[in-house]
Structure 1
Amino acid sequence: MKISACVIAKNEAENLPRWLASMRVFADEMIVVDTGSTDETVAIARAGGARVLYFDWINDFSAAKNFALDAATGDWVVFTDADEYFTEESAPRVRPLIEEYDSRDKFDGFIVHLVNIDMDTGALLGTNAKVQRIFRHVPHIRFVGSIHEHVENLSGDPGRMMMMAPGLTLYHTGYSPRMIKEKSRRDLDLLLARRARGESSKLDEYHLMDCYYSLEDYPQAARYAREARDSADQPVGSEDRPHAVLLQSLILMGSADSEIREAYEIARKACPEKADFPLIYGTYAWDQGYFVTACRAYQEGLHLHEEYYREGDFSGILAPTACVRLGEAAALRGDMEEALRLQERGLRIAPRSAPILASFLRLLTQVGADDVAVIKVLQSLDYGADDAAFLAAVLAASAFQLAALYYDQRSTVKFPQRRQFLLTGDVNSAAASLVEDIERTAAIAAAYGRAFAHAQQAQLALLLPDSCKQESAAPEVQRMQRRIGRLAEGGR
């Protein structure tokens, strides 16, 4: 059994090395179809062991991808975008999974869980999808659609099937903040131009919704989200997306409470296992001051998040804030034990969130915890040696100064000495250190001031202390004059 990994690319020098490394784990051949690159894409592909083919771009993604399919020689095809790659754990599982299902009659391929991440930070962006990326290399499976192309079974046999790929996750960097608007403008222009020619596709509303939402045109996003939500045609595995875009667009454009509530209820009914919707609605209700409603929605959302979360769900971003706010509500009721439990839960979901940790520390201050108790609590959480600098920085802004020093000593990046003096309460040493720094700076300015233009020398003279400018028998002036002299002579 042979596997072909295929991709179409244009100016993908930044993404292609990662794609090649991911596909090389399981593929027998790698095919890169270049559609007009002006960067190092072709050279990188060849150096990475891929076969490079050329396709004249005709504003048709399916045509380019079907060209790649025609060139592939494998029994199975893994066809991703250049900005997609399998996670380190997933890549070795691709071949065994295909081999397991290869002999099954009428089984055509796999739908893969795709998670959007920030290409610069690796952070989850809170959106994911289910995408068709692995399929048999057979004539009846082709790409359809000049833009936002997708795989279709053209055999006419409804008995042929695809299934979710267990244990496989693709990371996708194409929705990264620094590039999403540019891509959305490009896609929107292509979509509108095609529709102006009288051409349309069954998923146009879905893609127009996404483009307008990315471009922050929320009225248009809401319009097409409704059309996509109510359409009989839905992209496989992303049926919840129109509900999410509609709800968030209505909130962001300041729609009436009743309209937002209606969209929320429809979403909750359509996707009863999706934690995103009650958490989104809870955030809206909290910001509007509907605290009882917000707490109810937050509690439901946290329950669903715990039961059904999958990597990349938006609930992973919202759940920690829900915990903090429910904790704040519990504290207002006087239930400090519940407040601490909830905020600790938020920290376990997002242990490296400075605002959440700071909120938790404020609660610990209210219950009278000391530095030792705080250190014990933090040691029970999911923190490693690499987190010491983070913990020290957040603790330094709290009431737990000695705990900040404890983690500073365990960090490879130390606080400046003056900051350490202040954390120990040694104000005199901190002040002496500050005076020394000021004197050293003044001496350097006085020693090298003649190197500046006359106007700058005059400005500098206004800033220098008298000890740099006058003769005096005072010890501090004598000391400063000697320091200036050593510097002027090239000493230290």
Structure 2
Amino acid sequence: MKISACVIAKNEAENLPRWLRSMRVFADEMIVVDTGSQDATAEIARAGGARVFHFDWINDFAAAKNFALDQAQGDWVVFTDADEYFTEESAPRVRPLIEEYSGRSKFDGFIVHLVNIDMDTGALLGTTAEVQRIFRRAPHIRFVGSIHEHVENLSGDAGREMAMAPGLTLYHTGYSPRIIKEKSRRDLALLLARRARGEKKKLDEYHLMDCYYTLEDYPEAAHYARLARDSSDRPVGSEDRPHAVLLQSLILMGAADEEITAAYETARDALPKKADFPLIYGTWAWEQGYFACARKAYQAGLHLHEEYYREGDYSGILAPSAYARLGEAAALAGDSEEAAACYERALRLSPRYAPALAALVRLLHRAGADDPTVIGTLRTLYDEEHDADFLASVLAGVFPRASLYYDRRASRHFSVRRRFLLAGDVNSAAASLVEDMERAAALAAAYGGDFAPESQGALALLLPDSCKEVSAAPEAARMLRRIGRLAGGTA
């Protein structure tokens, strides 16, 4: 059995090396179709072992991808975008999975879980999709759609099937903040131009919804989200997206409470296992001051998150703040034990979530905990060496000696004066401040002549008297000696 990895690319020199590394794990051949690159895309592809073909761009993604399919020689095709790659755990599983299913005559391919990540930080962006990326190389399987192209079964045989690929995850960097708006403007222009010619296609509403939402035109995003939600044509595995875009667009555009609540209830009824909706709604309710409503939605959302979460779900971003807010509610109700448990759950999900740690630390302080007790608690949540910088900064305002404990283990340290203050040595901190102020004043006095006349006048008003006049006072004499050394070029 032979596997062909295919991609179309234009100016993908940044992404292509990673794509080649990912595909090389399982592919027998790699095919790169260049649609007009002006960078080193073709050279990188050849150097990485790919067969390179050229396709004159005609504003039709499906045409370019079908051209790539025509060059493939494998029995199966893995066709991703250049900004997609399998996780390190997933790539070795691709071939065994295909081999397991290839003998089923009616089986055409796999739908893969795709997770959007930030190309610069690697952080999860909170959006996912289920995408068709692995399929047989067969005449009846072709790409359709000049923009937002997708795979279709053209055989007319409804008995042919595709299934979710167990254990496979694709990372996608194409929705990264620094590039997504430019892509959405491009896609929106192409969509609107085609529709102006009278060429309307299924899934147009879905893609228009996404473009307008990315470009922050929330009324238009909500309009197309409703159309996409109520349409029978939806991308496989992305049934939740129109509900999420509608709910968030209504919130961001300041729609009426009743309209937001109705959209939420429709989403919950349609997808009762999706944690995103109650967590989004709970966040809105909390920020509106509807605390009882928010608490109920948060509890429902967190229960679903714990039971059904998949990597990349938006609930993974919202869950830490939901736990922290439930902790705040418990603390206000006088249930310190429940509050601490909520804060700890938030930190286990997102250890660097500073508001939750600060709230937990304040709770411990009100309960009378001492520094060793705090350090002991944090050892159950953190790696002392790896997280020392973060812990030192958050603890400084409440448990100063515990903060110094972590500062000694940190890679970056507090200033000497800050350490004096944390240790309670106010006199040494004040002496350090006076020394810094005298040093700055001496520098200004020594080099004031280099400034413009109007600046010299302003500077003279700011300088202490000890910098400007002869006096028998020891501090004035010391300052004048320092100014003289600086002016003469000595320390």
Q: Please give the range of the TM-score, normalised by the shorter of the 2 chains.
A: over 0.9
Paired residue secondary structure (2:147): coil
Shift of 1:384: 5.2
Give the distance between the partners of 2:437 and 2:46, measured in 1 at CA: 58
Provide the residue aligned with 2:323 in structure 1: 323
Provide the residue aligned with 1:418 in structure 2: 417
Provide the residue aligned with 1:446 in structure 2: 445
Shift of 1:454: 4.4
Give the distance between the partners of 1:176 and 1:280, measured in 2 at CA: 21
Shift of 1:52: 2.3
- Aligned partner of 1:79: which letter? F
What does residue range 241-252 of structure 1 map to in structure 2 within 5 Å? Answer: 241-252=241-252
Paired residue secondary structure (2:78): strand
What does residue range 213-362 of structure 1 map to in structure 2 within 5 Å? Answer: 213-362=213-362
Provide the residue aligned with 1:186 in structure 2: 186
Greater CA drift, 456-465 or 380-389: 456-465
Does the C-alpha gap of structure 1 residues 13 and 334 become closer, same or farther in structure 2, counting only changes over 3 Å? same
Listed one character per residue, the Cα deviations across residues 160-215 of structure 1 (whole Å, up to 9, x for unaligned) are: 21111111111111111222211111111111111111112111111111111111
Shift of 1:459: 4.0
Provide the residue aligned with 2:6 in structure 1: 6
Provide the residue aligned with 1:468 in structure 2: 467
Listed one character per residue, the Cα deviations across residues 336-357 of structure 1 (whole Å, up to 9, x for unaligned) are: 1111111211111111111221
Check whether the contact 2:4–2:29 (CA below 8 A) recurs between aligned residues.
Answer: yes
Shift of 1:241: 0.7
Provide the residue aligned with 2:120 in structure 1: 120
Shift of 1:159: 2.0
- Aligned partner of 2:86: which letter? F
- Aligned partner of 2:407: which letter? D
Paired residue secondary structure (1:157): coil
Give the distance between the partners of 1:149 and 1:267, measured in 2 at CA: 27
Does the C-alpha gap of structure 1 residues 238 and 384 become closer, same or farther in structure 2, counting only changes over 3 Å? farther
Check whether the contact 1:351–1:383 (CA below 8 A) recurs between aligned residues.
Answer: no
Percent of matched pairs sharing the same residue: 77
Paired residue secondary structure (2:386): helix
Shift of 1:264: 1.4
Provide the residue aligned with 1:90 in structure 2: 90
Shift of 1:453: 4.3
Give the distance between the partners of 2:404 and 2:238, measured in 1 at CA: 48
Greater CA drift, 219-228 or 378-387: 378-387
**What is the root-mean-square deviation of aligned Cα atoms in Å?**
1.8
Give the distance between the partners of 1:96 and 1:486, measured in 2 at CA: 77
Greater CA drift, 332-341 or 456-465: 456-465
Query: What is the TM-score with the length of structure 1 in the denominator?
Result: 0.95
Provide the residue aligned with 2:435 in structure 1: 436
Query: What is the TM-score with the length of structure 2 in the denominator?
Result: 0.95
Check whether the contact 1:247–1:263 (CA below 8 A) recurs between aligned residues.
Answer: yes
Listed one character per residue, the Cα deviations across residues 256-308 of structure 1 (whole Å, up to 9, x for unaligned) are: 22222222122111111101111111122222222222111111111100000
Provide the residue aligned with 1:407 in structure 2: 406
Give the distance between the partners of 2:37 and 2:356, measured in 1 at CA: 45
Listed one character per residue, the Cα deviations across residues 363-416 of structure 1 (whole Å, up to 9, x for unaligned) are: 2222222222211111111445221101111111x3111111111111111111
Give the distance between the partners of 1:447 and 1:480, measured in 2 at CA: 11
Give the distance between the partners of 2:470 and 2:321, measured in 1 at CA: 62
Give the distance between the partners of 1:44 and 1:477, measured in 2 at CA: 69
What does residue range 368-407 of structure 1 map to in structure 2 within 5 Å? Answer: 368-383=368-383, 385-396=385-396, 398-407=397-406
Give the distance between the partners of 2:277 and 2:50, measured in 1 at CA: 43
- Aligned partner of 1:54: which letter? H
Greater CA drift, 47-56 or 343-352: 47-56
Check whether the contact 2:384–2:406 (CA below 8 A) recurs between aligned residues.
Answer: no
Check whether the contact 1:221–1:246 (CA below 8 A) recurs between aligned residues.
Answer: yes
Provide the residue aligned with 2:165 in structure 1: 165
Structure 2: state its 5+ residue gaps.
none
Provide the residue aligned with 2:484 in structure 1: 485
Check whether the contact 2:110–2:135 (CA below 8 A) recurs between aligned residues.
Answer: yes
* Count of equivalent residues: 491
Shift of 1:455: 4.4
Shift of 1:102: 2.4
Give the distance between the partners of 2:483 and 2:287, measured in 1 at CA: 59
Listed one character per residue, the Cα deviations across residues 41-78 of structure 1 (whole Å, up to 9, x for unaligned) are: 23332333322222111111111111111112222221
Paired residue secondary structure (1:38): coil
Paired residue secondary structure (2:387): helix
- Aligned partner of 2:347: which letter? L
Paired residue secondary structure (2:428): helix
